A and B are shown apart, each in its own frame.
Chain A
Amino acid sequence: DGGITQSPKYLFRKEGQNVTLSCEQNLNHDAMYWYRQDPGQGLRLIYYSQIVNDFQKGDIAEGYSVSREKKESFPLTVTSAQKNPTAFYLCASSIATHNEQFFGPGTRLTVL
């Protein structure tokens, strides 16, 4: 089956720790994205990548980092510099940046 997987589904972190969220796709899409969703709110773009070894900041990139070493993978690291990291994180991919995006099931991060 083609699709996007995110792991883990739930993640707990202590304050001051970095944590990495996984996102993998087997749709052969060039573009990948990370969004943050807070309760009762829409999606905010953290980072996106249009091609391997290249990525750009979105609207709320501070305190986050990404890499795109393989077409299939776009991991997101939430660093200790992110002041309020508790949120639902969604990964998506698309053929190109103007096309519809396909979403993973999300990772819920809670900082203890």
Chain B
Amino acid sequence: AQSVTQLDSHVSVSEGTPVLLRCNYSSSYSPSLFWYVQHPNKGLQLLLKYTSAATLVKGINGFEAEFKKSETSFHLTKPSAHMSDAAEYFCVVSAYNAGNMLTFGGGTRLMVKP
């Protein structure tokens, strides 16, 4: 079995300050992990993915995430928030060995204040 917990349903930051969106996962097998972003009334766009290579993963738009096996975490960060980063973010886990499909977290809504 696998599961994903996004620890914050809402995060609010000021423009130009760092962003931290937290994600913890549970998986019986070596997981692949993803972060997706969804702007209002749009589909989901892949930000970045971890597939057992480097533990620090760089994605689009200046986002990155670090896979920490000991903490079962995959937190998403960005050094400086832009207004255009305001959106819903989903952490997702998949385990090929288990034959499982993607399991989505509940989402974190990021608000960016001017």
Contact B94 A102, beta carbon cutoff 8 Å: no
Q: Within 8 Å of chain A (Cβ to Cβ): is B114?
A: no
Residue of B with least CB distance to A58: B101
Q: With the chains together, A37 CA to B64 CA distance in Å?
A: 26
- Total residues of chain A contacting the partner, CB 8 A: 23
The winner among A6, A97, A100, A106 for most chain B CB atoms within 10 A is A100
Q: Collect the chain A residues with CB atoms within 8 Å of residue B95's CB.
A: 98
Interface residues of B (CB under 8 A from A): 32, 34, 36, 41-46, 49, 90, 94-96, 99-102, 104-107, 109
Inter-chain pairs besides A97-B102, A98-B100, 15 sampled, C-beta below 8 Å: A41-B106, A42-B107, A90-B43, A92-B44, A97-B100, A98-B94, A98-B95, A98-B102, A99-B94, A101-B44, A103-B43, A103-B44, A105-B42, A106-B42, A106-B43
